[in-house]
Amino acid sequence: MKYDLQSSNFRAANMPNSTSPESGLKRFGDKRISDLLVESRQANVNRQRVQEFIIEKLLFAGGMAAILFIALIFIFLFKEGAKALFLIKPIEFIGTHILDFDNNRVFACMWQPVGESGKYSIVPLLIGSFLVALPATVISTILGGGCGIYLAEIASAKVREIVKPAIELLAGIPTVVIGFLCLTLLATYVQNAFHTTFRLNAFVGAIGVSLVIIPVIASITDDALRAVPNELREASYGLGATRWETIWKVVVPAGISGVTASIILGMGRALGETMIVVMATGNAALVTGNIFSSVRTMTATIAAELGAVPQGGPQYCALFLVGAILFFITFVLNLVAEMIINRMRKKLRL
Amino acid sequence: MKVEHGIKGQQKTKIKLEELTFYYGKYKAIDNVSMEFLECKVTAIIGPSGCGKSTLIKSINRISEITNDVQVEGKVLLDNKNVYDRDVDLVDLRRRVGMVFQRPNPFPKSIYDNVAFGPRLYGVNNKKRLDEIVEYSLVKSALWNEVKDRLNQSAIGFSGGQQQRLCIARALAVDPEVLLMDEPCAALDPTATARIEELIEDLKKYYTIAIVTHNMQQAARISDYTGFLLNGQLIEYNITTEMFTNPDKKVTEDYITGRFG
Amino acid sequence: MTVGKRKIFNSFFQGLCRSMAFLAMAVLIVILVKVVTNGVGVINLSFLFKAPREGMTEGGIFPAIFGTVCITMLMIVLAIPVGVSAAIYLTEYAGKNFLGRIIRASINNLAGVPSIVFGLFGVGFFVLFIGRGMDKILGIPLLFGQPAMLWAASTLALLVLPVIIVSTEEALNSVSVSLREAAFALGATKWQVVRNVVLPQARSGILTGAILSISRGAGETAPILFTGCAYFLPRLPVFTIPYVHIPVINPLDQFMELSYHIFIMATQSTNVAATRPIQYGTTLVLIALTFLLNLSAIIFRIYFRKRPR
């Protein structure tokens, strides 16, 4: 579509009178404001351009720092951890042949890194970590999920304004404090209730760790459920469903990916938790399935041993390898959770 | 489809759109529009919501590209210089082309700091100069008498109409040549709207004004020329009185008589 | 299912969720009550402002409080510039492009790294690589290449970086687009918009993030276990500038720290049972510190979200 100024079909009489645009403008002496501004800008435009450029690069460097550090963590953990594979035979990370009391050669999974013939089986550490993390995840899925549902669907706005900060405050308690209370108080309660052989055991640690993950699961579940559109709830009520039926059969299934992601993230946190398990699980590297037995997690092993080992030795490198494995596991869990959340965001177009 | 329009007169062409096509990502918001904005005239853009009116005027000061991924074909000539040329200084372009938005959006600062914001960006820090510019802009936007004793109060406490006039003052403080107004009265009551319209009537002596409006009566009252936009295409562009009394196209007539939109 | 049964189900399960939420709150209250009742007895001025005595079985915890304050301050000084600039880059410059997505993914991953892994990294990177490297380059005997407050603070800074970035980003995103547009339309450059419009508006949100980070950093133990914490130090990590006699914090010294003090007293001290009151007292101080910080951040955030724009 073109239009042409010359081929007019209007009457000239219709045209409003033209005015000079200059007439009303403020002057400073013989200068208009616009001249003043342009001159003022000309005076420092080059400096300003350089400044903009430098600032953008600095901010960019800040952003790149995040990438840099995650890469450095990767490199340093795996570099030191890989050394362990040269110092120690890889099979020894699973187990070694030892002589039992009857002088039979048996294959045993032991973590006993001290001395000439240190034993570096990672199996008891993995078992220890999961024996704490799995029960902790189960406990906090139930409790944290309940909290999340309550916050998002049941609580009134007023109650929510109290409960939500309270749960955030629970998340803010230093883990060393929880570990300390598990060690001094909870362990005694648990021993009195279950008459366990070990005062400090995986179960005590799991309860302690669950206190850390409940807020994580609760707040992500809360967010996920609140993102579910209201029309779904209204439709469900319209069909005569009760509130619980609406929550359980409509809202939770709609927000299930967020809930799943929160559980996976919680599991990652549980595996990575250090201070609680080092204080509350007894730190005995046993191969066991008994939840009331003392265990030693990967995190606790690093925390307890790294301070006292000579650098560069087999034990030192083995601890880095344990760290690398731990990092890898939590990395994968976080990645999966993030993918689930991203998919949910796309679906809900948030 | 080819529509012939023509406008004859002594007015200088301030802005000329040449076959402008504008995309948001893959969505075509403006489709091959050519039109002119004459100096010291009010040109209204009307059309139903989502027809691309705001995009059209925002393409002139290139403000859409801040928040969106945009792509432009064709030209936007400001005094015969394409604003999409590579060597165009965006800062200077936006100084010359001021803008007033749909909702009053004063900064959460004092009245004085709001108006002085623009000049300060350009490095004007002389207190006396700033005072003069602030007073001048507030006088021009018919706000001076209401706020001259309260220049240090926060702009947030003022009424919507006053805030919008403050936004106009803020735009005037950098002494633009063109004023783009994106439905400036959409969020205002009738009294405040009337004051803004009066103000526009006054401002057009000095500025080239392009105003987007949803309100046909407003377009008829204040504009000299009107363009009717539908689905990103310029359907009709004419002298306002002509357009509202004797539209060329059936679809224009339908729109201005309220049959759709 | 009959209507009656459905009604019972309805109220039962809702009640169950409610009781879970209140159980979580009850746990919080129990923790606070236990710590306060067991710890308040030892709290007095000499506990707060004196050093430990008699092999840490008596005396106060002042060096630990001092060390905690020093290290969190140093941490926040290191973390804020990097975190805030990363957040500004992400929201204002990178947008949703490929690089922005990679940076975001890195931050999410950084947030999920277990704290003990930060500790390992701190030893491997800061103490041994950077510290030893500096010693080697400068040709001096062991000075930087050993655990020190600087390295512990750097490790903690890395740990809280995602907290700062995420909260800053949230604060920047809450500044309305129309204000940015208004400034751009006046001819502001990108940095002018950020500095004059966005940052002043986002200040309180950034501050909230900083407070949360301080509280998080003060409560963490694992990252500093091997990067600078000391079991017992007879002196404060301070040196006096010669001639002018002004004491300054020495970032190359080791330090005592509250959470580490609790850990070590509860598990490895000479007489664990006899020092229980000191352990509870230290716990009370730490929890009061983090609690006040968190509470102020929460109140701050509620206030700042409710403020009319």
pLDDT in tens, C261-287: 999 989 887 788 888 888 999 999 999
Whether chain C has a CB inside 8 Å of the CB on B155: the answer is no
Min distance B123 CA to chain A CA atoms (Å): 6
Among A1, A20, A40, beta carbon nearest to B122: A40
Burial of A105 (0-12, 13-18, 19+ CB in 10 A): exposed
Is residue C120 scored above 80 in pLDDT?
yes
Chains that touch C (3 or more CB pairs under 8 A): A, B
Least confident of A245-254, B7-16, C57-66: B7-16
Q: State mean pLDDT over A321-348.
A: 88
Q: State mean pLDDT over A51-68.
A: 93
Q: Where are the domains of chain A?
A: 8-77, 122-349
Query: Is A62's CB within 8 Å of C81's CB?
Result: yes
Total CB pairs under 8 A between chain A and B: 115
Q: What CATH number has the domain bearing residue C234?
A: 1.10.3720.10
Chain B contacts of C185, Cβ < 8 Å? 61, 63, 94, 98-99, 101, 171
B233-239 β-sheet, strand order:
B97-100, B178-182, B208-212, B42-46, B225-230, B233-239
Is residue C48 scored above 70 in pLDDT?
yes
Total CB pairs under 8 A between chain A and C: 276
Min distance B9 CA to chain A CA atoms (Å): 7
Q: State mean pLDDT over A232-247.
A: 93
- pTM to 2 decimal places: 0.88
Whether chain C has a CB inside 8 Å of the CB on A136: the answer is no
> What does the pLDDT read at residue A5?
34
Whether chain A has a CB inside 8 Å of the CB on C115: the answer is yes
> What does the pLDDT read at residue A213?
95
Q: State mean pLDDT over A66-74.
A: 92
> What does the pLDDT read at residue A115?
66
Is residue A136 scored above 90 in pLDDT?
yes
Residue reference for tokens 């504008």: B22
- With CA atoms as reference, report the closest residue to A142 among A229, A207, A193: A207
Could you tell me the pLDDT band of residue A96, with boundaries at 50, 70 and 90? confident
Is C161 a member of any domain? yes
- With CA atoms as reference, report the closest residue to B36 among B54, B20, B58: B20
- At position C309, the amino acid (one-letter code) is R
Total CB pairs under 8 A between chain B and C: 64
Task: Return mean pLDDT, chain A.
Answer: 85
Domain that holds residue C258: 67-306
Is C127 a member of any domain? yes
Query: Do residues C28 and C295 lie in contact, with contact meaning Cβ atoms separated by under 8 Å?
Result: no
- Largest Cα–Cα distance of chain B, in whole Å? 57
Whether chain C has a CB inside 8 Å of the CB on A188: the answer is no
Residues 206-265 of C with CB under 8 A from B: none
Is C59 a member of any domain? no
Query: Which pLDDT tens digit goes with each residue over C214-245?
Result: 999 999 999 999 998 888 887 788 888 888 87
Could you tell me the pLDDT band of residue A25, with boundaries at 50, 70 and 90? low
> What does the pLDDT read at residue A189?
92
Chain B contacts of A43, Cβ < 8 Å? 123
Is residue B126 scored above 80 in pLDDT?
yes
How many CB atoms sit inside 10 A of residue A264's CB? 23
Is C19 a member of any domain? no
Compare all CA atoms of chain A with the CA of C34 and give the residue at the minimum distance. A181
Least confident of A97-111, B178-192, C243-257: A97-111
Among A146, A177, A303, beta carbon nearest to C17: A146
- At position B107, the amino acid (one-letter code) is F
Is residue B2 scored above 50 in pLDDT?
no
Compare all CA atoms of chain B with the CA of C198 and give the residue at the minimum distance. B107
Q: What residues form DSSP beta bridges with A112?
A: A119
Query: Is A5's CB within 8 Å of B33's CB?
Result: no
Is C75 a member of any domain? yes
Query: What CATH code would you report for A122-349?
Result: 1.10.3720.10
Helix, strand, coil shares, percent, chain C, to 5: 75, 5, 25
Whether chain C has a CB inside 8 Å of the CB on A125: the answer is no
Whether chain C has a CB inside 8 Å of the CB on A328: the answer is no
Least confident of A37-51, A111-125, C107-121, C150-164: A111-125
Query: Do residues B139 and A36 lie in contact, with contact meaning Cβ atoms separated by under 8 Å?
Result: no
Burial of B94 (0-12, 13-18, 19+ CB in 10 A): buried
Query: Is A62's CB within 8 Å of C84's CB?
Result: yes
Compare all CA atoms of chain C with the CA of B180 and give the residue at the minimum distance. C185
Tokens of B259: 């049959």
> What does the pLDDT read at residue A26?
55
> What does the pLDDT read at residue B261?
59
> What does the pLDDT read at residue B4?
39
Is C31 a member of any domain? no
Is C37 a member of any domain? no
Is C23 a member of any domain? no
Could you tell me the pLDDT band of residue A116, with boundaries at 50, 70 and 90? low
Query: Is A147's CB within 8 Å of C24's CB?
Result: yes
- The Cα–Cα gap between B243 and B240 comes to 5
Residue reference for tokens 């690089």: C99
- With CA atoms as reference, report the closest residue to C32 among A172, A164, B111: A172
Is residue A235 scored above 80 in pLDDT?
yes
Rounded-to-10 torsion of CA A328, A331, A333, A339: -140
Number of domains in chain C: 1
